[in-house]
Structure 1
Amino acid sequence: MAAIMPNLMIAAAMLGVAALFWLIRLLGAGPRFFYVFALLFVVIALLGLAGMVLFQSFGAMGELAVSTTLASAAAEEGSALYLLISKPIELLQLAVATALGFLAVLAALRLFGFVARTIGSSVSNAWRYLEARFFDHRIWMLGIGYFSFLLTIVLFMQMPFQFEPEIDDENSRVEIELVPGTTIETTDSIARKVADFLYEQPEVELALERVRQGNATIFVTLKEDRERTKMEFERELAPELAKFADARVRFQNQQGPGGPGSGRAITIMLAGSDPVLLNETAAAMVEEMKQLPSLVAPRISADVSRPEIIIRPRAELMADLGVSTAAVSQTIRIATMGEIEQNAAKFSLSDRQIPIIVKLPESSRRDLGTIENLPVPTSRGGSVPLGRIADISFGAGPTAIQRYNQNRRVLIGADLAEGVLRGSAMEDINKLSTLADLPPGVIRDSVGTEAVEQELQENFFVALIAGVLLVFAVLVLLYKRLMSPLVNMTSLALAPLGGLFLVWTVGQANSMPVLIGILLLLGIVSKNSILLIDFAIEEMAKGTPKLDAIMDAGHKRAQPIVMTTVAMTAGMVPVALSLSGDGAWRQPMGVVVIGGLILSTVLTLLIVPAGFSLADGVEKRLGPWLRSKFLTYRPGDDKQTFTPPAEPQPASAIPASKLPPTDGHPAE
């Protein structure tokens, strides 16, 4: 309730301002242009009030989670029974929210009428005139179109976004990563254990191992007649693979575009100049991600730390004993790695020289006692043990330092739980307190699939707006008028509702095929509205009254519009069913086109004629005034004949009767 009140107060303020302008105009306290402002504010306030009530009421009902609670109690999430229970409840909530928005508009109109009757008879009469305009059936048709647009926005917000559908093919891949330096025998042993575990699954037909020192890859081929899809198979086994000791075992994510760290379904990149603060922030975020049920095995996707011996010199003691840093460095290097080739002694042969490198054996290099007793020369000609002038201990360090835009970077990866979409998981991750309030010096940047998703959304909306503007420009040039193309453009808002509603009903996500299907719908819906409006304009040009022309357009153009819809819907049914092969890309496109065609055809036949009737009336009222103010061209100017001016003649050639008088008397 606390979230609803501010928006209701904003709507009340807008209504108050609208009422103020309207009353100023009615009482004669202002100029005539106050009438335009008053009417404009009334319309904006009513539309804004309807949208706020619809969004807030539907959001409040969604926070109660009634549909998910009841469906989860009766069936497993993602199953057909789960959708059968949850979707009708959500549909009922959507209908209730729409009804509340509609009732809010009616209540606002009644409130205006009550205020007008309270002020006086003149205001009451003026309000009756305005109220009659609002209760025109054409206004109601446009209101239905507006609520359809609001429902489209609600469905867009309700549906989780997924870059591309989950492809169900027969190929999968398992990555195994061990501590650097692990022998190939140990790696092969763990790879065989993982392969044996995979062979226990009824879906696995073949598992091919490729073993290297410290890491391995298992290529898995699944059976065609399997019960579980590839994504179900991977997500159900991901927690089991994470239980293998002394190794990182995970499925290699093959969905979506590549990019750094894109080997898992979810990848979050943090970057910063302070490596300590960066690692602490990443570790805190991993702990929060472990609490999310939508994620499996979240961890920092860095290379496994390599064991190493850490030597920290004691600077003050070295200075007292006369030991230089170069001497310490040279002693450690010669003992562990050997002298560099340029300084090493050479064994000369007849045709070449072989460098002689002397260093400790492998077993001694792993012994702290041997390292501590290495003699380090002093400036006085003696030597001291290395353990006396330095602290020596075992530790671990990175095998590589990863950077992004000259900053240290850390990748956090996670797999998705069964039945969870990537868009829903990203919404949960973005709400984490650590990610929402990053410390100074640590930033988050898009990487891999996330970066491509953002680019896709930006480019999609740019392409959508550019296409709409180009269509509008072409229609203005063809019609040679403004309001009719505007009606065509407003009909585009009716296209996505049916498609999104059907996609949402069957439980699919908003993905790239859905967006492509919406672009296809925009062209079909604009074609239907053009058929209606063009026929009505032609009939009106022949002298037919506007109402008769619109009715005749509806009768004669309805058949080709319906025939087009039926033919294209029938053609999309096999695409939507996708009975053969993997229809992950085809099916969403077919579903959105079928739903959009059916509902947009009905809405177009009802709303476009009403909108054209109102637009034509507005154009006839405002058109002459706008032409007189903004156009230098007048209709009919191109039909007037051009008469060139007469050439100037000398005064002697002009008759005396045509000359002006010189003495104040008329010429004779």
Structure 2
Amino acid sequence: NGEFLIQVEMPKETPIEQTNQVTQEMENYLLRNPEIVSVYTTVGKSGSGFGGGSTSAYLAELSVKLVPAEERLLGSDRYASQVKTDLKKIIPGAKITTAPVGLIGGANQAPIQITLQGNNLDSLLSYSRHLIDVMEKVPGTAEVKSTVEAGNPEIAVEIDREKMASLGLSLDIVGATMQNAFTGNTDTRFKDGDYEYDIRVQLDAFERRNQEDIRQLSFLNRRGELIRLSQFATVTEASGPARLERKDKITSLTIESQVVGRPVGTVGTELQELIAREDLPRDMTLTFGGDLENQAEAFGSLGAALITSLLLVYLIMVALYDSWIQPLIVMFSVPVALIGAFLALALAMENLSIFSMLGLIMLIGLVVKNAILIVDFVNQLKEQGVPSREAIIQGTMERFRPILMTTIAMVIAMIPIAVASGAGSEWKNGLAWVLIGGLTSSMLLTLIIVPVVYRLFDKAIERRRQRQRAQAQLATA
């Protein structure tokens, strides 16, 4: 669709001013490229990629709009990959990732998603790093990352409960005092006429700049004495995850990956086979999401529709031919069409998407038509007294021209859709390639398969009739 996002993550302690300066350098580089129309930057917040709208001074997001597809050589995903490589050279200290833009704006969800669940976050983080290394070995994966990452600087306060109790303090008092110091409270209100305003009371920023300031925090105990935090607690620097995730009340994280240069289904299958060989810790569960999950759900219903369409076509022909055998001969044209459809998708490097599945359902009606032309004409010749073998040969040759004309017309009509490169064209390309491949293979192979199958069934029916006549003669003798 000609748009992509660049997501920037600086070191966690980076102030917003420095993040802004970095994004300005990136803007200057991007806007020098003639393929880029505009760049929209958000500093201090990531709208989608870093946890669905998290706000932090070290995060930034740039939305890049490209010229129309016919005015550039590369697709938006390939161009984004190239831009990322160049920006990493210009901004060596930043973690830069790119993501495609969805149809309704915002970053598209990653096509490959693996969700890990377990009771211990540290174990999940450790195993996720191993899985990321495994995923990066699969060709086609890009921007492999975890939604939960450690390294967020924090100050840990470890309280000695015995000392705290001996000094006349409780966890309620300590917790409330520390909350007031760092986040403040709005228990007090100022009323001005009909309007009320919250008054936030909290510790001055200059008095909570470092560990020593925090150690000097004062708490009022039950006896009215001021007790410092350092008297009953240890204050240390630590690092922890920037965000926490839970699924079904269980600690979880998701590993995401974009796919470039290969079909999502192919990459997903290779990943599933590779991960299946890994030893998953007993206290963890692993599930696949993203496009793999969506395809499985969509293909379940579309697969049922495909089977239903085959059954309906067969039953309608049974009613028209007044036979169970001849519709079965016609249905042999469907497998040869599916071979061509899947081969065309593979050669065009297209995914087996929902639109491709719709193309397969359309293909059934189109390819059955070719077989019907042959079978119906052969039946007419046999009714005129032409022997079976000669009728099959003559009928196939006579019907070759109309089959060729209708197939070529349909294939030529699909070519503009198959090779289209405009905005949103990737949604329709797969459908066109399915029809092109299926119709082409059907045209070539139906002219061989259907006559052969017709002849085999005809011989079997003739032998059965001969046996029945022989048995009837023996019975009357």
* TM-score category, normalised to shorter length: 0.7 to 0.9
* 1:483–1:619 Cα contact (<8 Å) kept: no
1:275 partner amino acid: L
1:195 partner amino acid: E
Q: 1:624 to 1:289 in 2, by over 3 A?
A: same
Partner in structure 2 of residue 249 of structure 1: 96
Q: Distance in 1 between matches of 2:406 and 2:138?
A: 48
Q: 1:402 to 1:545 in 2, by over 3 A?
A: same
Count of paired positions: 452
Q: 1:241 to 1:285 in 2, by over 3 A?
A: farther
Partner in structure 2 of residue 233 of structure 1: 79
* 1:273–1:407 Cα contact (<8 Å) kept: yes
2:62 partner amino acid: I
1:190 partner amino acid: V
Partner in structure 2 of residue 373 of structure 1: 216
Q: Distance in 2 between matches of 1:573 and 1:356?
A: 67
Q: Distance in 1 between matches of 2:140 and 2:313?
A: 43
Partner in structure 1 of residue 63 of structure 2: 219
Q: Distance in 2 between matches of 1:581 and 1:318?
A: 65
Q: Distance in 2 between matches of 1:561 and 1:598?
A: 11
1:191 to 6, 18, 23: 23
Partner in structure 2 of residue 571 of structure 1: 413
2:350 to 509, 518, 538: 509
Q: Distance in 2 between matches of 1:498 and 1:262?
A: 31
Partner in structure 2 of residue 11 of structure 1: none
User: After superposition, where does 1:589-668 map in structure 2 within 5 Å?
Assistant: 589-619=431-461
Matched, 1:332 2:173: no
Q: 1:527 to 1:175 in 2, by over 3 A?
A: same
User: After superposition, where does 1:145-164 map in structure 2 within 5 Å?
Assistant: none
* 2:332–2:449 Cα contact (<8 Å) kept: no
Partner in structure 2 of residue 68 of structure 1: none
Partner in structure 2 of residue 521 of structure 1: 363
Q: CA deviation at 1:356?
A: 6.4
Q: CA deviation at 1:596?
A: 3.3
2:248 partner amino acid: N
* 1:171–1:222 Cα contact (<8 Å) kept: yes
Q: Distance in 2 between matches of 1:412 and 1:525?
A: 42
Q: Distance in 1 between matches of 2:421 and 2:26?
A: 34
User: After superposition, where does 1:58-137 map in structure 2 within 5 Å?
Assistant: none
Q: Distance in 2 between matches of 1:254 and 1:582?
A: 11
* 2:158–2:234 Cα contact (<8 Å) kept: yes
| Identical counterparts, % of pairs | 27
Partner in structure 2 of residue 652 of structure 1: none
Q: Distance in 2 between matches of 1:485 and 1:230?
A: 47
Q: 1:618 to 1:386 in 2, by over 3 A?
A: same
Q: CA deviation at 1:483?
A: 1.5
Alignment TM-score, normalising by the size of structure 2: 0.79
Matched, 1:481 2:323: yes
Q: 1:369 to 1:603 in 2, by over 3 A?
A: closer
Partner in structure 1 of residue 130 of structure 2: 284
Q: Distance in 2 between matches of 1:580 and 1:296?
A: 24
Identify which range, 298-307 or 308-317, moves more after superposition.
298-307
Q: CA deviation at 1:520?
A: 3.4
Partner in structure 1 of residue 155 of structure 2: 309
Q: Distance in 2 between matches of 1:396 and 1:518?
A: 53
Q: For structure 1, which runs of at least 5 residues remain unmatched after alignment?
A: 1-168, 627-668
1:207 to 25, 30, 39: 39
Greater gyration radius: 1
Q: 1:185 to 1:577 in 2, by over 3 A?
A: closer
Matched, 1:466 2:313: no
SS for the counterpart of 1:252 is strand
Q: Distance in 2 between matches of 1:514 and 1:339?
A: 57
* 1:285–1:434 Cα contact (<8 Å) kept: no
Q: For structure 2, which runs of at least 5 residues remain unmatched after alignment?
A: 46-56, 469-477
Matched, 1:395 2:238: yes
1:390 partner amino acid: A
CA deviation string 1:285-326 (max 9, x = no partner): 123334456434422123786543321211233344443222
Q: Distance in 1 between matches of 2:160 and 2:201?
A: 27
User: After superposition, where does 1:438-457 map in structure 2 within 5 Å?
Assistant: 438-457=280-299
Q: CA deviation at 1:254?
A: 2.5
* 2:157–2:235 Cα contact (<8 Å) kept: yes
Q: Distance in 1 between matches of 2:291 and 2:230?
A: 51
2:145 to 264, 287, 299: 299
Identify which range, 176-185 or 470-479, moves more after superposition.
176-185
Q: Distance in 1 between matches of 2:185 and 2:423?
A: 63
Matched, 1:268 2:114: yes
SS for the counterpart of 2:41 is strand
Q: More helix per residue: 1 or 2?
A: 1
Q: Distance in 1 between matches of 2:163 and 2:419?
A: 80
* 1:239–1:296 Cα contact (<8 Å) kept: no
Alignment TM-score, normalising by the size of structure 1: 0.59
Q: CA deviation at 1:357?
A: 5.6
User: After superposition, where does 1:3-14 map in structure 2 within 5 Å?
Assistant: none
Q: CA deviation at 1:350?
A: 7.9
Q: CA deviation at 1:361?
A: 0.9
Q: CA deviation at 1:388?
A: 1.9
* 1:242–1:297 Cα contact (<8 Å) kept: no
2:409 partner amino acid: A
Q: 1:205 to 1:364 in 2, by over 3 A?
A: same
1:401 partner amino acid: L
SS for the counterpart of 2:404 is helix
Q: Distance in 1 between matches of 2:2 and 2:321?
A: 55
Q: Distance in 1 between matches of 2:460 and 2:82?
A: 62
2:256 partner amino acid: G
Q: CA deviation at 1:410?
A: 0.9
Q: Distance in 2 between matches of 1:218 and 1:516?
A: 36
SS for the counterpart of 2:4 is strand
Q: Distance in 2 between matches of 1:240 and 1:348?
A: 56
Q: Distance in 2 between matches of 1:249 and 1:468?
A: 49
User: What is the root-mean-square deviation in Å for CA atoms of aligned residues?
Assistant: 3.8
* 2:306–2:361 Cα contact (<8 Å) kept: yes
2:206 to 357, 363, 366: 363
Partner in structure 2 of residue 20 of structure 1: none
SS for the counterpart of 2:100 is coil
Q: 1:222 to 1:375 in 2, by over 3 A?
A: closer
Q: Distance in 2 between matches of 1:351 and 1:599?
A: 78
Identify which range, 275-284 or 587-596, moves more after superposition.
587-596
Q: More strand per residue: 1 or 2?
A: 2
1:171 partner amino acid: E
CA deviation string 1:240-293 (max 9, x = no partner): 44564564432222268999x954454332233433332222122123334456
Q: Distance in 2 between matches of 1:257 and 1:263?
A: 12
Q: CA deviation at 1:468?
A: 0.8
Q: Distance in 1 between matches of 2:387 and 2:126?
A: 76
Q: 1:272 to 1:379 in 2, by over 3 A?
A: same
CA deviation string 1:69-125 (max 9, x = no partner): xxxxxxxxxxxxxxxxxxxxxxxxxxxxxxxxxxxxxxxxxxxxxxxxxxxxxxxxx
Q: CA deviation at 1:365?
A: 1.4
Partner in structure 2 of residue 102 of structure 1: none
SS for the counterpart of 2:22 is helix
* 1:310–1:392 Cα contact (<8 Å) kept: yes
Q: 1:267 to 1:355 in 2, by over 3 A?
A: closer
